[in-house]
Chains A and B, each alone.
Chain A
Amino acid sequence: MTTSTFVAGKGWLYRFDPRAKILLMLLLCVWFFLPVHLVGLYCAVALIVFTGGLNTGFSHVWKIFRSILPMLLFMVLFMPFNVRTGRPLFSVGSVTIVTEEGLMQAARLAGRFIGISYVCTLLFATTIMNEVMLALRWYRLPYKAGLVVTLAFTYIPFIADSFSQIAESHRLREADREQGRKFLQRLKDLVPTLTSALVVALRSIPNLAMSLEMRGFGLQNRRSQYHNLGSYRHPFTHFLLSVIIPVVLWLLCKA
């Protein structure tokens, strides 16, 4: 199981300071909720998608679209039927099916949904998790919180592997079972696998705590940092850009 959200590529997004990128992401997400007119909204979305394609590659952009497509379709199909006000566009007899107002709202929500999805995904696709954590620590995230996240990422593959091995092991053990079990029985049969998986995970906790302390977690002196964000040369410019871009978009597109 892969836990990596990073997609290798070349482009200005990769050279953008992560701290500024986080700010840009937040401001853009806020922007999507502001009252902007529909055409402007979709222009911004197109711009974001295009930038994403130039940076991470269009196949990745398509993959993102495919993963949000089910929800998008659901929203688009479901929503217009619920808005009853406005000019009816399509009706059968005396029953209004779709109104213009409904269509507008659906389009707006769809645009916002796509936009925010891409903005968030692109942040994590162009920044390695280590640097995201370093940027968050710069924003005063406590050390222990960052450590918990890093450790969780270390343990996810281990627990996932154990889980699949345990599932196989139980499958082998239960090979004598007949087919066609009821749903309730299948749920009950999950319990052994889940229990074993949890016991294996719990057993690793004392070892992890032990290793942390043996490697010096708990010493009173201040920890130094091996990695830092020093390779990003122009943080101030990047911060400026992060603020300017959303403001300009707002000024251009406000309804």
Chain B
Amino acid sequence: MQQNRNALKVAVVAVLTAVVVVFTMVVRIPTAKGYLNLCDVAICFIAFTFGPWSAFIAAGLGTALADLISGYAQWAPISFVVHGVEGLLIALIVRRQGDKEASLIRKLFAGLVCIATVSLGYFALSSLFISTVSVAAAEIPGNIAQSGVGFVLGLGVASAVKRAYPPVRSLAW
């Protein structure tokens, strides 16, 4: 009998979105933009463990909701696009072929894509919709640091979770 997995898909995306929101709001280092946070850790974890669509929706929706709740509603659409694309791209790059784990080169490439997407994405969209090129440019170093650190931690956490909780494989879509 063809199993209808709709409820599972909804459950996965909802819980992962909540995870991204919590990670974004839990550790905050105030800077000019708002705050540096652990959202990239959560997004990279999701991208490594789950599929492209879950990563896209959870990352985009999660960061947008976090912005909304914290009172930075202007950034919500920008975060949705930037982090959603980040999640989508990383998940596509490291997608497992059958049972093989992605190679180190792919992971490195994914890391570069992650850093580039976040910093350039925020730069481009902020300069268009929030402020100007020079102000947006000042945020680039912070974004590079945050996404870089987030990627590395996300990698560590993803492998730790897969070993600690094997049933996660059956949840991925």
Q: Which A residues touch B14, using CB under 8 A?
A: 147-148, 151-152, 154-155, 208
Q: Which residue of A lies closest to B153 (CB)?
A: A187
Distance in angstroms from B35 CB to nearest chain A CB is 10
Whether the Cβ atoms of B19 and A198 lie closer than 8 Å is: yes
Contact between chains at A105 and B22 (CB < 8 Å)? no
Are B157 and A156 touching (Cβ within 8 A)? Answer: no
Select A147's contact among B10, B70, B161, beta carbons within 8 Å. Answer: B10
- Contact among A3, A64, A152, A163 for B61, CB-based, below 8 A: A152
- CB of A201 within 8 A of chain B? yes
Interface size on A, residues (CB 8 A): 58
Query: Which of B4, B71, B168 contacts A121 (CB under 8 A)?
Result: B71
Check if A75 is an interface residue, CB within 8 A of chain B.
yes
Please determine whether B135 and A152 come into contact, CB atoms closer than 8 angstroms.
no
What mask results when residues 127 to 160 of chain B are scored 1 for a CB within 8 Å of chain A, else 0? Answer: 0001110110010000000000100010011001
Given A120-B73, A147-B10, A199-B161, verify A155-B153 contact (CB < 8 Å): no
What residues of B have a CB within 8 angstroms of the CB of A105 in the complex?
A: 132
C-alpha gap A205/B7 in the complex (Å): 10
Q: Is the CB of B26 within 8 A of A149?
A: no
**How many Å lie between the Cα of A166 and that of B7 in the bound state?**
28
Bound form: Cα–Cα A46–B161 in Å? 51
By a CB distance below 8 angstroms, the chain B residues around A74 are 32, 135, 138
Interface membership of A195, Cβ < 8 A: yes
Q: Is A165 an interface residue (CB 8 A)?
A: no
Q: Taking beta carbons and an 8 Å cutoff, which residues of B are in contact with A?
A: 4, 6-8, 10-19, 21-23, 25-26, 30-34, 38, 41, 45, 57, 61-62, 65, 68-74, 76, 130-132, 134-135, 138, 149, 153, 156-157, 160-161, 164-165, 168, 171
